[in-house]
A and B are shown apart, each in its own frame.
Chain A
Amino acid sequence: IEMTQSPSSLSASVGDSVTITCRASQSISTYLNWYQQRPGKAPKFLIYDASTLQTGVPSRFSGSGSGTDFTLTISSLQPEDFATYYCQQSYSTPPLTFGGGTKVEIK
């Protein structure tokens, strides 16, 4: 299953709300996970089952979608949220497949 993210990058300011889209090449129900990766760091697990926040993840992060189309929304961007975000399907595995990533940059 191929995962396609858009946009590949975006610029936003602190306090803005941003939405990242992830599309699967076939229906994956809600077997969709999101990760955050800050520069030079390991990825961090954010969301599973398309919309369930991992323990400790701030509530400004939210996920939605089912089937083939999913979104990750960050409301009120904070300085620590500038990072690259990856979606990953866990419907038909192995292999686990990731999207190409969306880099959120400071405007």
Chain B
Amino acid sequence: QGQLVESGGGVVQPGGSLRLSCVASGFTFSSYGMHWVRQAPGKGLEWVALISYDGRNKYSLDTVKGRFAISRDNSKNTLYLQMNSLGAEDTAVYYCGKDLGYCTSSSCYRDAVDIWGQGTKVTVSS
């Protein structure tokens, strides 16, 4: 079925940095795109970043471009999110997620998150 376990969250001062990690098990990690999605306190879900199965293609939310970097190490079944220049608006629970990446003979279904981690909390505060 697959499992994802995030780590690396914590309290950081404005302008600081954090690196989140997400370890995958139970599925072939190197075959799927991976996402980061965040949820600010009391708010809805906000997609943050996507990386292709091989790490060659990366996409991110406009408001985090140039500050956040998504990466992966397929040899370690691990996804990362390097977050720099953090601001109060980045305070959230960050979830990693596996892309659905499912194809039939006629269609492919991507850009949905079918497995979610438990989340790691990031608080930006002085």
B-binding residues in A (CB < 8 A): 31, 33, 35, 37, 42-45, 48-49, 54, 86, 88, 90, 93-101
Contact = CB atoms under 8 A, between A and B. Distances in A.
B45 A43 contact: yes
Nearest to A43: B116
Contacts of B61: 94-95
A48 B109 contact: yes
Nearest to A86: B45
Interface residues of B, number: 26
Given A48-B100, A95-B47, A95-B61, A90 B95 contact: no
A96 B111 contact: yes
A22 to B, nearest CB: 13
Interface of B: 35, 37, 44-47, 50, 59-62, 95, 100, 102, 107, 109-119
Q: Is the interface of A mostly helix, strand, loop or mixed?
A: loop
Contact of B45 (A31, A35, A49): A35
